[in-house]
Chain A
Amino acid sequence: GAGVSQTPSNKVTEKGKYVELRCDPISGHTALYWYRQSLGQGPEFLIYFQGTGAADDSGLPNDRFFAVRPEGSVSTLKIQRTERGDSAVYLCASSLLPRGNEQFFGPGTRLTVL
C-alpha cells in the first residue's frame, strides 16, 4: 500500500515568507507526527496529532510554527515569517495507534530559506 507522502519534496523560499508543508499519512493511521532534521542531526520532534487534535506540541520552536489536521488525515505544517535557521528537512510520520507502534516516515520536505 501507499506509504506516507509529503509535498513538496523541496521548497526554496525567501526570508520572511510564509510556507506550508503537507503530509498525507498512511490510510487509517490515527497518529501523525512532525519532526525536523537539521544537517548532521537526528530528527527532532515538533508536534503530534491524535485524530484532529494536537496532543503534544511541545516541540514547536516558537509561535511562527503551526500545524493543523482538520479532518484527522492530511496535515499541514505552516511556518510564518521564515528565517534562515528554519532551513531543514521536515519529516512527517504516522502510526496506527498512538503508543508503542512503529512510526512510518515520509521522505521529507527539504526547506531552504534564502
Chain B
Amino acid sequence: AQSVTQPDIHITVSEGASLELRCNYSYGATPYLFWYVQSPGQGLQLLLKYFSGDTLVQGIKGFEAEFKRSQSSFNLRKPSVHWSDAAEYFCAVGPFTGGGNKLTFGTGTQLKVEL
C-alpha cells in the first residue's frame, strides 16, 4: 500500500529565509506526486505536481519541488518565504497506472513565518 511521510510536523522560518519541506513516499509503481497547501478555513490548493519528465517541477507562488526516485523523496522548496506562506502543507501520492484514483496524503507540515 502506498504511504507518504512528512517528518516535520511544524517548521518555523523567518520571512525572507529559504524553505524546504520534506516528503518521502512509498509506492509500488510510478507515482503521481503532489503538493497542496491549506490555509485556515480554506480548501486545499494545488501548488505543483509531478507526473514524468523533468524531475524539478515549478509551481505557483514561487514554489518548486524535486523528485528523487533513488531517495523516494519529493521535497518542496522556496528560496525566499513570505509571511503569507504561513499555512499547512500536504504532500500526496496517486496512481500513475492501474488501481483507483485516490490520493494518499501525508500528515502535513505546519509552516510558521516569523516577521
Interface residue ranges, A against B (CB under 8 Å): 3-4, 31, 33, 35, 40-45, 48, 55-56, 58-59, 91, 93, 95, 98-100, 102-108
With a cutoff of 8 Å between Cβ atoms, the chain A residues found around residue B107 in the complex are: 40-42
Q: Closest CB of chain B to A18's CB: distance in Å? A: 26
A106 close to B43 (CB less than 8 A) = yes
With a cutoff of 8 Å between Cβ atoms, the chain B residues found around residue A31 in the complex are: 101
With a cutoff of 8 Å between Cβ atoms, the chain B residues found around residue A43 in the complex are: 44, 90, 103, 105
Given known contacts A102-B46, A102-B49, A107-B43, A33 and B101 CB-to-CB distance under 8 angstroms: yes
With a cutoff of 8 Å between Cβ atoms, the chain B residues found around residue A108 in the complex are: 43
A55 close to B49 (CB less than 8 A) = no
A42 close to B43 (CB less than 8 A) = no
Interface size on B, residues (CB 8 A): 26
A91 close to B102 (CB less than 8 A) = no
Given known contacts A91-B43, A107-B41, A48 and B105 CB-to-CB distance under 8 angstroms: no
With a cutoff of 8 Å between Cβ atoms, the chain A residues found around residue B41 in the complex are: 107
5 CB contacts below 8 A, A to B, read: A42-B106, A55-B100, A100-B51, A100-B96, A105-B44
With a cutoff of 8 Å between Cβ atoms, the chain B residues found around residue A3 in the complex are: 43
Q: For the complex, is B63 an interface residue (Cβ under 8 Å from A)?
A: no
A91 close to B44 (CB less than 8 A) = yes
Q: For the complex, is B84 an interface residue (Cβ under 8 Å from A)?
A: no
Apart from A33-B101, A42-B90, A91-B44, what 15 extra A-B contacts exist at CB < 8 Å? A33-B102, A33-B103, A40-B108, A41-B107, A41-B108, A43-B105, A44-B105, A48-B101, A56-B100, A91-B43, A95-B101, A100-B32, A103-B46, A107-B41, A108-B43
With a cutoff of 8 Å between Cβ atoms, the chain A residues found around residue B45 in the complex are: 105
